[in-house]
């Protein structure tokens, strides 16, 4: 079978959102195109998704949004306070060795992207909202400027059990919920389900949200996660994707989300959530060496997870350049997705059927979305749990699809 031409690869990318480079295991992902394959009535707005890294660059190759220009006198004071680089401590040396091992792989993947002319030219247009009118785009922009609900705070108040979310089901759906075209259910500590074939618009406290088809969410804090454990093990999960709010001083400074001490995640009931046939566990991890060692030496063992592979998410700007220097010690332009296999108690992982070995050191490249937002790993059909699963489902991130004329 002949391998696809560059033009064929690009045509497939426009439909799927995934570009597979020739003679490389690396891929480029456009999360907006990937997500929009699984929405029927709405589509993710590229302008809303790509809220960063589309500004002009400064002379150092940094996004102006990431490094705002300081007044001249401020820069002078900074230069006076500069200190000589201190020697790396033992933990930092281990982190540096880990980085040096993966560095050639990341460089090669990035060079491959820069050499793919047609894709590189398309990157600058990723933020375009396509055939939508200026009025529709302005309306979406106004919604984005409106204040968001703080789900963490709402979940803490005494009224939280009284808050309900209303799901509005279209009459043309091939699906009927008990109670008619609109139902209202508790939004906290409760499974909110859309089993229909179309995405659904929901309303909560005068804000609207889009619930994907064939999906559900459970909004609660960590204490309520036991409610996700299925009564029957055959109803467990085959894929468990986890993006913990790791301890992170940067996140605290930016006040983007609440974090938790790493030891809290030891209590996640991964084994009880696992299907009898086993599960693939995918865990987002930052580049902090203490965290990597915590995952390898404590977290995975406490979950009963056997390490399988590590994938790397390489972040680029709209011009294809890395969002920061590759060797910048505390701000690497990549994150890690650590994968492992989970099995139920007394079941040997190697005996589980259907476990195909996962190739290690895979690289996927994309332009990042909003702060801490990760690129999608799969399509519809997810069960989502967390203390703010509706955050990126606000209608301010969406545009309504036009029906074909």
**Cβ contact 306:349 at 8 Å:** yes
DSSP tag of 83? -
Integer Cα distance of 261 and 265 in angstroms = 8
Mean pLDDT, rounded, for 78-92: 72
Higher per-residue confidence, 1 vs 10: 10
Q: Residue 273: its pLDDT value, please?
A: 94
Instruction: State what percent of residues in the chain have pLDDT above 90.
Output: 60
CA 139 to mean position of chain CA atoms = 26
User: Which of 251-265, 270-284, 330-344 is predicted least confidently?
Assistant: 251-265
pLDDT at 209 over 60: yes
Structure tokens at 341: 């296999």
Query: Tokens 């031409």 belong to which residue?
Result: 5
Sign of the torsion formed by the C-alpha atoms of 226, 232, 233 and 236: negative
Q: Residue 58: its pLDDT value, please?
A: 42
In tens, the pLDDT along 242-257 reads 999 998 776 555 567 7
Closest C-alpha among 214, 212, 206 to residue 41: 212
Higher per-residue confidence, 10 vs 250: 10
Q: Is the pTM of this model over 0.75?
A: yes
What separation, in Å, do the N-terminal and C-terminal C-alpha atoms of the chain show? 39
In tens, the pLDDT along 44-70 reads 999 999 988 766 444 343 444 444 444
Give the C-alpha distances (Å, rounded to integers) separating 140 from 279, 396, 401: 39, 6, 13
Q: Which residues contact 243 (CB under 8 A, 6 or more apart)?
A: 284, 374
Q: Which residues pair with 209 in a beta bridge?
A: 202, 394
Instruction: Reduce the DSSP state of residue 307 to 3 states and report it.
Output: strand
Spans of all domains in the chain = 134-400
Confidence of residue 131 (pLDDT cuts 50, 70, 90): low
pLDDT at 371 over 70: yes
CB-based burial label for 234 (10 Å; 0-12, 13-18, 19+): exposed
pLDDT at 107 over 60: yes
Closest C-alpha among 238, 270, 273, 240 to residue 353: 238
Q: Residue 306: its pLDDT value, please?
A: 94
Integer Cα distance of 197 and 218 in angstroms = 20
Residue 384: how many CB atoms within 10 A of its CB?
16
pLDDT at 278 over 60: yes
Sheet holding 164-168, edge to edge: 182-186, 164-168, 200-204, 207-211
Integer Cα distance of 287 and 334 in angstroms = 8
Q: Residue 353: its pLDDT value, please?
A: 46
Confidence of residue 73 (pLDDT cuts 50, 70, 90): low
pLDDT at 1 over 90: no
Mean pLDDT, rounded, for 128-154: 65
């Amino acid at each position: 079978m002949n391998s696809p031409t560059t033009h064929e690869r690009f045509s497939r990318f426009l439909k799927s959102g995934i570009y597979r480079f020739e003679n490389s295991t690396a891929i480029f992902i456009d999360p907006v195109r990937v997500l929009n394959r699984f929405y029927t009535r709405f589509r993710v707005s590229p302008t809303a998704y790509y809220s960063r890294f589309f500004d002009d660059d400064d002379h150092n190759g940094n996004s102006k949004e990431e490094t705002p220009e300081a007044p001249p006198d401020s820069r002078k004071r900074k230069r006076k306070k500069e200190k000589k680089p201190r020697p790396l401590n033992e933990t930092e040396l281990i982190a540096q060795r880990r980085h040096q091992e993966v560095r050639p792989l990341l460089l090669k993947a990035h060079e491959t992207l820069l050499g793919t002319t047609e894709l590189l030219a398309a990157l600058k247009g990723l933020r375009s909202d396509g055939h939508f009118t200026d009025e529709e785009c302005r309306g979406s922009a106004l919604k984005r400027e409106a204040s968001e609900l703080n789900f963490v705070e709402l979940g803490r108040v005494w009224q939280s059990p009284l808050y309900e979310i209303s799901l509005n089901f279209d009459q043309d759906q091939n699906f009927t919920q008990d109670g008619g075209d609109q139902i209202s259910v508790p939004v906290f500590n409760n499974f909110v389900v859309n089993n229909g074939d179309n995405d659904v618009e929901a309303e909560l406290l005068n804000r609207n949200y889009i619930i994907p088809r064939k999906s559900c969410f459970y909004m609660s804090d960590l204490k309520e996660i036991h409610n996700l454990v299925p009564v029957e093990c055959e109803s467990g999960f085959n894929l468990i994707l986890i993006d913990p709010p790791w301890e992170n001083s940067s996140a605290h400074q930016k006040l983007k989300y609440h974090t938790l001490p790493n030891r809290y995640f030891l209590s996640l009931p991964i084994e009880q959530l696992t299907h009898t046939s086993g599960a693939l566990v995918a865990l987002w991890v930052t580049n902090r060496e203490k965290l990597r060692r915590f995952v390898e030496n404590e977290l995975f063992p406490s979950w009963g997870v056997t390490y399988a592979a590590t994938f790397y998410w390489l972040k680029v700007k709209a011009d294809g350049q890395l969002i920061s220097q590759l060797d910048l010690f505390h701000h690497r332009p990549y994150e890690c997705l650590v994968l492992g296999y989970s099995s139920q108690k007394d079941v040997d992982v190697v005996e589980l059927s259907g476990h195909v070995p996962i190739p290690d050191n895979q690289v996927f490249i994309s332009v990042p979305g909003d702060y801490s937002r990760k690129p999608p790993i799969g399509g519809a059909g997810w069960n989502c749990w967390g203390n703010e699963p509706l955050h990126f489902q606000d209608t301010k991130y969406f545009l309504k699809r036009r029906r074909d004329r």
